[in-house]
Amino acid sequence: MSRLELYSPEGLRVDGRRWNELRRFDCKINTHPAFDGSSYVEQGNSKVICMVRGPMEPPMRSQVNQTQAVIEMNLNIASFSTLQRRKRSKNDKRMIEMKTTLERTFEQSVMSHLYPRTLIEVNVQVLAQDGAVLATMTNAITLALIDAGVAMYDYVSAVSVGIHDQTPLLDLNVLEENDMSCLTIGVVGKSEKLAMLLLEDKMPLDKLENALAVAIAGGHRIRDLMDDEVRSHGNQRVSKLTS
């Protein structure tokens, strides 16, 4: 197989983007009114649905924490989400890792001390994967939690960044992701604070700062896009209720 040219000398990537461009980002909130909160996010061709139940009375005693809410993440990656159909069990190591990462991220961002002795159940359904799945999931969860009216310190907007030769490339698709070391971060709101950072392979230390800067700027852009949706949905709802 001939190696794809991931970054042309003219500065174009496989899908025609430049280094600092995001893929198409589309999000909707309150897609499943029967749940307390829900969202749908498309980041490039990655598609994720997220549904939140709660805060609610935990069905099991073991889920009761006297001082704060327990956040339970249920990830489900559809077997048809990849090009080659592949069944992923829920006990798959990678799934457990992602689950833990997401749980830790949102335990910090949700003001869980406000909801003692309750359970927040987050169901994530990945329908299609085209790179940066963890980032897409994070964004979907943020939106669904906001839709559920769960108090959060700020948005957590996630994006991935890779290093190709010397250049950082923002928001990798699956082709790029397979071919370079990549980093996924979750930015807190418009700050430069990170709620999540995941780097699973090597990245030169001197490039890291640059890559992070690009990713943070990308995260801010995604936050704005999500904020637009939340605002327009909110205003629409308010105008409906007051009319």
Partner 1 sequence: MSSLLSITRPTKRDSRSNDYDSDVDMKDAMSEYQDEGSKDNTSVVTPGELVTEDPTWMKGHGTYSLENQTYSSVAGNVLRLNRLLSVIPIRGRYEAETGDYIIGRITEVGQKRWKVDIGCKQDAILMLGSVNLPGGILRRKSESDELQMRNFLKEGDLLNAEVQSVYSNGQAALHTRSLRYGKLRNGVLLKVPSSLIIRQKNHSWNLPGNVSVIIGVNGFIWLSKTSSTSTAPSVNASTNSAQSALASKGGYKPGEGSVSITRLEEESSWEIYSDKNDEISASIRGTISRYHNVIKAMSACELGITEKRICMGYDASMMYADTSMLIEREAQEIICQDIIDSEKMRGD
Partner 2 sequence: MLLSPAERSYIYDSLCQKDPIRPDGRTPLQFRPLEATTDFLPGSNGSARIRIADGSECIVSVKSKVVLSEKEANLIEWDVDVSGYRDDSNFVSNLKFSLTDLYMKNFPCEKLKLTAKYSYKLFLDCIIVSHSSYPLTLATMASYLALKSTRLPLLVSEVDDSQVEEQPTFSDDWEKAQYLAEFFKTESFSPPLYITVGIVGENVFVDPSETEEQVLENGLLIGYSEKKCIAPITNLNLATNSNNSNFKGFTPALLISTVDLLKGHLSSIVDALDTLDKQDKEDRTQSIF
- Of 54-62, 82-90, 98-106, 133-141, the segment contacting partner 1 by CB under 8 A is 54-62
SS (H, E, C) 41-57: EEECCEEEEEEEEEEEC
Site string for partner 1, 142-161 (x = CB under 8 A): ----xxxxxxxxxx------
Q: Choose among partner 2, partner 1, none what residue 55 binds, the Cβ cut-off being 5 to 8 Å by kind.
A: partner 1
Query: Should residue 89 be labelled a site residue for partner 2 when binding is judged by CB under 8 A?
Result: yes
Q: Choose among partner 1, partner 2, none what residue 125 binds, the Cβ cut-off being 5 to 8 Å by kind.
A: partner 2
CA-CA-CA-CA torsion for 74, 178, 127, 149, nearest 10 degrees?
50
CA–CA gap between residue 185 and residue 102 (Å, rounded): 11
Alpha helix (H) residue ranges in 62-204: 93-109, 133-147, 174-177
Strand bridging mode 70-77 / 119-128: parallel
Of 117, 127, 199, 208, the residue at the interface with partner 1 (CB under 8 A) is 117
Query: Should residue 236 be labelled a site residue for partner 2 when binding is judged by CB under 8 A?
Result: no
Question: Minimal CA–CA distance to 236: which of 80, 7, 45, 29?
Answer: 29
Q: What is the binding site for partner 2 (CB under 8 A)? A: 26, 28, 31-35, 40, 42, 45, 47, 49, 51, 74, 76, 78-83, 85, 87, 89-90, 123, 125, 127-128
